[in-house]
Chain A
Amino acid sequence: MDAYASLLRMHEGPARRLALVVCGSAGEADEAVQDGFVKAWYGLAGFRDGAAFRPWLLRIVANEARNRRRSAGRRAGYELRFAEDRASGGAAPSPEAAVLAADRRRTVGAALAGLPTPQRDVVACRYLVGLDEAETASVLGLPRGTVKSRAARGLARLRDLLPERIEIGGTGDG
């Protein structure tokens, strides 16, 4: 059991971020993570020898998060919170820059909520959780081509959803 706890500690961060970006609710997300960790324990016998553990675990967590999102239905909101800038060393942003950055975070986070769920799941996995394309495909149970196309469409849609005061350059497909 100690070994399993240690194993979970290794992947706790990505699992929590994944559940959070899928659910869009902090309380639901940690419930989903717990459920996922418990289900993974009982499902370890089905873990394919030699397979990568992280995507397998994250897939279970993602499924739990999606189940909770579906259960919550339309009444569920989608809200992510982001840490504010903290002064560190000599690199603390100016007050104006800090305000702008915080505004940008809130605005982009709110725009994420406006994405169609399939696109949002992919964009969030790829960019907020930091999974690569293959991991995202595995975690969400999608073909890699679907991940690629949804990521591209999601970023384009997200850019359209941003108000004009938030200008973001680049193609955003990388």
Chain B
Amino acid sequence: MAERHDDLGLVLGELGERLELPAAVDPVAAAIGRIRADGGGLDTFSRPKWSPGRPIWARERVVWAAAVALLVALAATLVAPGPRHAVARWLGIGSVTVTYTDRVPASAGGTYDLGAPTPVAHAIRRADAAGWHLAAPSAAGDPARAFVGRPAGAVNLTWAPAADLPEIGDSGIGLLLTEVPATTDAGGVAKMAPRGTTIELVRVGDEAAYWIAGRPHEVVLTDADGDVVHDSSRLAGNTLIWTDGEVTYRLESALDRDDAVALASTLRRLS
């Protein structure tokens, strides 16, 4: 008995959907295992001065390209708050996204409004009450000041310039640590990076992190409704962004990559 079908292409398409792939092998896991087994060609950072006790890896353009490809591939899904948060978690960088743009305002990096100043102890209690915990790199000592409210729900901690913490521009600040809890009302943080900015995917402890350095870049906040709020208040020094647990951290300093990663690796809960 003859069987008719309208189009050979459709038949082939149906066959493609039914292709049986071998189930015994996970090629992604196998490939990652092979890369790890031979060292991955990953450069190990020089032993940092704040010895985190754990080797940290990075390979500049390699992982940078992977990160950019991820962002390109997912750009369309970074619009609504729901998908944005889902994607951010998937990317492993909390509520932070990084996009390229040629339209960074000239004011980027020129001013800083870190929110409402508050005693550090109050900021700690406030975070505890909100169900998350403030942390700071122990190697930097106690933070000098705390600010709240930019972005909503977040806390900014600052340290004065010191021998190990060069001043960021002429800001009078040696280190700025922004902590954004992964609560639904905290909005998100995006970095609008002009071309020429260096973006690398590095590692802080076991977490993926972005290292952003070079030209000043603008921080873009998203509010609780997912609306974008351009914020040129940041210092726009070299920036490290990573997530630990439910909190996204953004560490801004004049440190180089290795030292910033090493400093971030000493993060401890404040109490």
Closest residue on chain B to residue A155 by CB atoms: B8
Let me know if A54 and B12 touch, CB within 8 A. no
Q: Once the chains bind, are A34 and B201 in contact (CB under 8 Å)?
A: no
Output the least CB separation between A53 and chain B (Å). Answer: 4
Given A10-B73, A44-B62, A109-B15: A34 touches B8 (CB 8 Å cut-off) = no
Determine if B245 is an interface residue (Cβ-Cβ < 8 Å).
Answer: no
Which single residue of chain B is at the shortest CB-CB distance from A156?
A: B8
Are B32 and A1 closer than 8 Å at their CB atoms? yes
Say how far A138's CB is from chain B's closest CB, in angstroms.
15
- The reply to whether B66 and A44 contact each other, CB–CB distance below 8 Å, is yes
Q: Does B91 contact A (CB under 8 A)?
A: yes
| Distance of A71 from chain B, by nearest CB (Å) | 18
Q: In the bound complex, how far is the Cα of B14 from the Cα of A27, in angstroms? A: 22
A26-B21, A130-B13 given; A168·B92 CB < 8 A: no
Number of A-B contacts (CB under 8 A): 173
The residue in chain A whose Cβ has the minimal distance to the Cβ of B90 is A6
Residues from chain A with a CB closer than 8 A to the CB of B70 are 3, 6-7
CB distance from B194 to the nearest CB of A (A): 14
Question: Cβ of B91: which chain A residues have Cβ within 8 Å of it?
Answer: 3, 6
Whether a CB of chain A sits under 8 angstroms from the CB of B25 is: yes
At the interface, yes or no: A9 with Cβ under 8 Å from chain B? yes
Give Cα A130 to B63, complex, Å: 28
CB distance B8 to A53 under 8 Å?
Answer: no
Chain A residue nearest to B210 (CB atoms) is A3
In the complex, are the beta carbons of B6 and A170 less than 8 A apart? yes
> What residues on B are CB-neighbors of A68 within 8 Å?
none
Chain B residues whose C-beta falls within 8 Å of the C-beta of A123 in the assembled complex = 12
- The answer to whether B12 touches A128, judged by C-beta atoms less than 8 angstroms apart, is yes
- Chain B residues bordering chain A, tally (CB within 8 A): 51
Residues in A whose Cβ lies below 8 Å from that of B116: none
Verify if A133 is at the interface (C-beta below 8 Å from B): no
B64 CB to closest chain A CB, in angstroms? 9
Interface string of A76-110 (1 = CB under 8 A from B): 00001111000000000000000010001100110
Q: Tell me which residues across on chain B come within 8 A of A172, comparing CB atoms.
A: 7-9
Q: Check B21–A174 contact: CB distance below 8 A.
A: no
Comparing B33-41, B172-180, B217-225, B230-238, the segment that makes contact with chain A is: B33-41
A100–B3 Cα distance when bound, in Å, is 8
A91 to chain B, nearest CB (A): 14
Q: In the complex, which of the residues A82, A165, A174 contacts B19, with contact meaning CB atoms closer than 8 Å?
A: A82
A16 to B25 alpha-carbon distance, docked (Å)? 11
- CA gap between A5 and B210 in the complex, in Å: 16
A166 vs B28: C-alpha distance when bound (angstroms): 38
Cα distance, A41 to B3, chains bound together (Å): 47
Give the complex CA separation of A141 and B35 in angstroms: 26
Chain A positions within 8 Å of B21 at CB level: 16-17, 20, 26, 29-30
CB distance from B20 to the nearest CB of A (A): 4
Q: Which residue on A lies nearest to B68, using beta carbons?
A: A49
User: How far is it, in angstroms, between the C-alpha of A47 and the C-alpha of B59 when the chains are bound?
Assistant: 14
A35 to B72, CA, bound (A): 24
B65 pairs with A41, CB closer than 8 A: no
Flag if B28 contacts A9 (CB, 8 Å).
Answer: yes
- Which residues 34-82 of B have a CB within 8 angstroms of A? 34-36, 40-42, 57, 61-63, 65-70, 72-73
Q: Contact between A41 and B6 (Cβ–Cβ < 8 Å)?
A: no
Q: Which residues of A contact B3 (CB under 8 A)?
A: 100, 104, 165-167
What is the interface of chain B, defined by CB distance below 8 A to chain A?
1-16, 18-22, 25, 27-32, 34-36, 40-42, 57, 61-63, 65-70, 72-73, 90-92, 201, 208
Task: List 15 A-B pairs, Cβ < 8 Å.
Answer: A1-B35, A6-B92, A29-B22, A33-B31, A82-B15, A82-B19, A123-B12, A127-B13, A128-B16, A129-B16, A159-B8, A166-B2, A167-B5, A172-B7, A174-B9
List 13 additional A-B contacts (Cβ < 8 Å) besides A20-B19, A34-B25: A1-B35, A1-B42, A33-B27, A44-B62, A44-B65, A81-B20, A127-B16, A155-B8, A167-B3, A169-B4, A169-B7, A170-B8, A172-B8
